[in-house]
Homo-oligomer: A and B are copies of this chain.
């Protein structure tokens, strides 16, 4: 691990930026060929739309008059066709139309990751504060760390944010005089990474109302940043309307989505809907980053959406992930000791396991090290918690993914992990 802290030619951001949280895990996985990784959040290779992508590319590149525009520069905000199709897709998911869902406020990006990055650039100075779920998406925490933005954790329950704790955190920040530094609440609202929990619609409504209540003290808007990355990997239960459908959303809700998870990470497109002045700001920042995402990729996706084949593809992969989740659920029931609490999810790529009191799951723990010796790894929960002076980092949890592993490897991996836990707990 290279320590950059003392390189004086670097910017403060450069010196601060830490290696990715899970690079060590990834390297470990590569070094042990027999290892079963229940750590990776990758999508399942078999779900990738090879034929569909080929068909769409051939349709776009079939002739110069369609191919040349796809290989030329485009708009910074994204191709208007894809923006419209994406907005319509979202309107259909949410069952509404209206100003919050207008294509004019939608921006196409390099995965939703780039949109999250640029939104933080637009919103936060060093030492500003973002409220996050406790635990949350560790790459988002990495961006905060790199940019010198502070995170404050809000406890998570199985149906999403603990609202009483959100109220306590906001009130505490008001009392300490730090509320003007707060810019947004970040929610991974669907089948959350890492816990698989989804935030109920009622909780989104009340969270937005709570933020509103503290705006006078903050002196500026407090945004609800809804990251819906896993929304379309849903195999059980009804879809929950997004925060964009809430009253007042057009001026306070930032919604980000991705086509990486439901379609293909190798096509790496995402999007965001943003209120002004954020839309204009992020669009300008996007111009400075890259003038807009690659046109060819946007055309592939627009073709898949327009033809209805995108929706068919999503239905197919939801079925497949549902099957893999069932396999994992049965394996967990069979092999894990009953003292381990399991959060089962109706979508996404993850189950969440909590060890009983006193046991640690962290990188240096006996549980993790023994699991590694037995050729199975998971993501230790501690990696998903922000640095927050208000509490120690919980270290008794595990993110267990059924994303990439085959059904046989899910069974075998959970069996190995279960044996380790039965021995040590």
Which residues of A pack against B, CB within 8 Å? 2, 4, 7-14, 17-20, 42-43, 45-46, 48-51, 53-54, 57-58, 61-64, 67-74, 76, 110-111, 113-114, 117, 121-125, 128, 139, 142-143, 146, 183, 219-221, 223, 260, 264-269, 276-278, 280-281, 284-285, 287-291, 293-297
Contact = CB atoms under 8 A, between A and B. Distances in A.
B146 A284 contact: yes
A268 to B, nearest CB: 4
Contact of A266 (B11, B128, B288, B294): B294
Given A2-B280, A268-B293, A58 B68 contact: no
Contacts of A74: 266
A121 B14 contact: yes
B53 A58 contact: no
B71 A266 contact: yes
Given A71-B267, A266-B294, A297-B296, A54 B57 contact: yes
Contacts of A297: 294, 296-297
Nearest to A1: B280
A147 to B, nearest CB: 8
Given A4-B281, A8-B220, A58-B58, A289 B288 contact: no
Given A289-B117, A290-B113, A7 B267 contact: no
Most buried by B among A57, A61, A113, A294: A294
- What is the copy number of this chain in the assembly? 2
A113 B290 CA distance: 5
A55 to B, nearest CB: 9
B53 A11 contact: no
Contacts of A260: 73
B11 A125 contact: yes
A111 B261 CA distance: 24
Most buried by B among A12, A51, A110, A125: A110
Nearest to A128: B11
14 contacts: A7-B277, A11-B123, A13-B121, A46-B64, A48-B67, A49-B71, A50-B67, A50-B68, A51-B61, A58-B58, A110-B294, A142-B287, A146-B284, A297-B297
Contacts of A12: 125
A113 B71 contact: no
Q: Which 5 residue pairs spanning A and B have beta carbons closest together?
A: A50-B67, A266-B295, A71-B266, A71-B264, A54-B61
B54 A58 contact: yes
Nearest to A291: B113
B288 A139 contact: yes
Given A11-B123, A123-B14, A268-B293, A287 B20 contact: yes
Contacts of A278: 10, 14
B53 A71 contact: yes
Contacts of A121: 11, 13-14
A164 B223 CA distance: 52
A204 to B, nearest CB: 20
Contact of A146 (B61, B128, B267, B288): B288
A9 B266 contact: no
Contacts of A139: 287-288, 291
A71 B52 CA distance: 11
B50 A64 contact: yes
Nearest to A64: B50
Nearest to A285: B17
A198 to B, nearest CB: 24
Contacts of A68: 45-46, 48, 50
A54 B72 contact: no
